[in-house]
Structure 1
Amino acid sequence: LDSFTPNIKMTVTYSMKQVYNGSELFPSTVTTRPRVEIGGGDMRSFFTLT
């Protein structure tokens, strides 16, 4: 992942463990879908997660 400056707050959590940039994830950790929270109050904004 190239370095970037975040414009909004986004958190990703797998099984109650928050993921940080550079985190190592084991296959047993990612067996369930992640919870993704994107901050900001403007409901007109859309984001694509890939």
Structure 2
Amino acid sequence: MSIGISAKVVSERLDHSNISITLDTYFHVLQDAQKEAAEKIDNFFSSTK
């Protein structure tokens, strides 16, 4: 589930030296966010037909 915060902001808040550390550690969260976004887009276009 995504909470709507960019990976860059999370990286800065966690004081990671670069965003790669954050992405390597939390990539599974981003995968869930991608799935959620795809479902929302699909629902949007399905409802406009």
Establish whether TM, by shorter chain, passes 0.5. no
Kindly indicate which of the two structures has a greater share of residues assigned to strand.
1
Higher Cα Rg, which structure: 2
Q: Given the two structures, how large is their TM-score scaled by the length of structure 1?
A: 0.25
